[in-house]
Amino acid sequence: MQSLQEKASEWSGVSTVEAFGIDEGNINLCQKLGTEAFLNLSKNFYNRVYEDDEEWFRSIFANSEKQKAIENQYEFLVQRMGGPTLYSQRRGHPALIARHRPFPMTHQAAQRWLHHMEQALHTTPDFDHHSKTTLINFFRHTAYFLVAGVAHKDQNLHLLTCHNKDHPPINHHPCKN
Ligand code: HEM
């Protein structure tokens, strides 16, 4: 069976090695760009998300306050890019698969999320060409990793709660709930 990393690589077209390019180099991306760059990025990204013409995508964020969403993403990015552990101090372990389970994490949603993130990266002046490419690889791989991770958890939960003794192997299970 394919691992989540393998699925993420196949669906995103970005290998795991390329995705972890964010961890390479003598100085980390947070030291290189500064925390403010990530605040600007998250503001730019969520301004786009909350004004999206595509109602189906905007509605995924309907129960989240924009300012809180910006703060969550900004703190996570600073922490993941090697800066202070702001996110975990306030929210605990990122556990991104679990935290995304309430949302419809489809391929279409990943594409739309990435569209806004790529636009945000290209229009936030703090990012040089190399940092942008490195971050886009990380975002592409992670978005599809989350799609694969949420689907996998939902499937496991279904099997645990399914009383059909004859259900076929996990990848071929036809039931929907
Ligand atoms: C939170 C959707 C991809 C990182 C959220 C929230 C939604 C959402 C609706 C709640 C907003 C909030 O209250 O903070 C999606 C969708 C994605 C996606 C549809 C498409 C695949 C990603 C990716 C990353 C990410 C690729 C990281 C690289 C986060 C973080 C939070 C968050 C850190 C805050 C979690 C918390 O503290 O509760 N996402 N997301 N998301 N997302 Fe995503």
Domain residue extents for the chain: 4-172
Mutate to test the pocket of ligand 1, among 48, 88, 96, 105 (most ligand atoms within 8 A of CB): 96
User: How far is residue 115 CA from its own chain's centroid?
Assistant: 12
Q: pLDDT band for position 174 (50/70/90)?
A: very low
Q: Residues of 148-163 as b/e, b for ≥16 C-beta within 10 angstroms? A: bbbebeeeeeeeeeee
How confident is the model at residue 173, as a pLDDT? Answer: 47
Task: Judge contact between 122 and 44, C-beta under 8 A.
Answer: no
- Which residue CA neighbors atom 29 of ligand 1 most closely? 73
HSE-CB of 30 using CA atoms within 13 angstroms:
16
How confident is the model at residue 156, as a pLDDT? Answer: 84
Task: Judge contact between 32 and 131, C-beta under 8 A.
Answer: yes
Atom number in ligand 1 closest to CA 71:
14
pTM assigned to the model: 0.92
Q: Residues of 99-116 as b/e, b for ≥16 C-beta within 10 angstroms? A: ebeeeebeeebbebbbeb
Q: pLDDT band for position 134 (50/70/90)?
A: very high
Report the alpha-carbon distance of residue 163 to residue 34 in Å, rounded.
Answer: 53
pLDDT in tens, 64-107: 999 999 999 999 999 999 999 999 999 999 999 999 999 999 99
Cα(165) to ligand 1 centroid in Å equals: 36
Residue 58 has pLDDT above 70, yes or no: yes
Tell me what the pLDDT averaged over the chain comes to.
93
Q: Which amino acid is at 150?
A: V
What is the predicted ipTM?
Answer: 0.99
- Which residue CA neighbors atom 20 of ligand 1 most closely? 110
Report the alpha-carbon distance of residue 36 to residue 171 in Å, rounded.
Answer: 44
How confident is the model at residue 158, as a pLDDT? Answer: 78
Q: pLDDT band for position 165 (50/70/90)?
A: low
Percentage of the chain exceeding pLDDT 70: 92
**Which CATH number fits the domain 4-172, given the four candidates 3.30.70.20, 3.30.70.360, 3.40.50.300, 1.10.490.10?**
1.10.490.10
Q: Is 148 left (phi over 0), alpha (psi -120 to 50) or beta?
A: alpha
Work out the average pLDDT over 116-121: 98
